[in-house]
Amino acid sequence: MILLIRHGRSSYKHDGRWLGAADVAAFEDAYDAAGIRDDSTPPPALRAAVADAGVVCASDMTRAIDSARRLVPEREILTSPLLREIRLEPPRWIPFRLPMATWDAFSHWQWSYRLFVDRRSNSTHEFMRRADAATEWLESHVRQSASVAVVMHAGFRRLVAAKLVARGWRHGRSKRSYENWSAWEFLRT
C-alpha cells in the first residue's frame, strides 16, 4: 500500500494582491520557504494510518517535513527532492494581474491536459520524468516494507497518482480530495 498525503495548511500569508505572470515564481518561493501553521493538525484517523506504515517519506520542502513530523513525531522520516511540488508555469501571454487561485486553476487545467496526453504517449516534461523516478523510488520502499506513507504536495501528488495507476496500482477506498491532510490510498493489483 502507498498512502499519498497532502501536507498541512501552509503558514505563508499572502496579502491577497493579484499577481502578474512574472510575479508567480516569487509567490511560490515564499510559499515553499514556509512551514505549516501552528493550528494545522492531522486528523486522528490519518495519524493512525500513518503510524502503521512501514516507511514514512516526505518531500524535502519545509511544509511537507513539518507535516510528517506532526503525523509521526517519534518516527524517522525519509526525505527526497523527488517528491517536491511542481512549479507553476503561468501563460506569459496573459498581460494582466490575476488572483493566485486563477493561476492555480490555469496550472490544474494545463496538467489535466498533460496527464491526458501522457496516457497516450510518454511525456518528456521534466516533472513527468521526476514523477516516474519518484514512483520507482516509492515502489522500492514498498518492496522492502509493504506500506509507505508519503507526505507531499497537491500538484505533484496528482502526477505520482497517475504514474502509480499506469504501473498497475489501483485506488483504495480513500476519497480523492485536494484538501490539506487529505490522503489517497493506492493498492497493488
How does pLDDT run along the chain (189 residues), one tens digit per residue? 999 999 999 999 999 999 999 999 999 999 999 999 999 999 999 999 999 999 999 999 999 999 999 999 999 999 999 999 999 999 888 899 999 999 999 988 888 888 787 665 666 788 999 999 999 999 999 999 989 999 999 999 999 999 999 999 999 987 889 999 999 999 997
Q: Cβ(34)–Cβ(12) under 8 Å? A: yes
d(CA 173, CA 162): 16
Amino acid at 90: P
Q: What are the grid coordinates assigned to 53, written together? A: 506504515
Determine the pLDDT at residue 111: 85
Q: How many Å apart are CA 186 and CA 159, to the nearest integer?
A: 13
Lookup: cell for 23? 510575479
For position 121, what pLDDT does the model report? 60
| Local structure of residue 3 (DSSP, 8 states) | E
Question: Running DSSP on this structure, what letter comes out for residue 84?
Answer: P
In this predicted structure, what is the pLDDT of residue 108?
A: 87
Cell numbers representing residue 119 in the block: 496516457
3-state SS record for 97-134 = CECHHHHHHHHHHHHHHHHHHHHHCCCCCHHHHHHHHH
| pTM of the complete model | 0.92
Q: Which domains are assigned to the chain?
A: 2-188 (3.40.50)
Distances in whole angstroms, Cα of residue 111 to Cα of each of 9, 94, 144, 154:
22, 18, 32, 12
Residues 75, 111: Cα–Cα separation, whole Å = 34
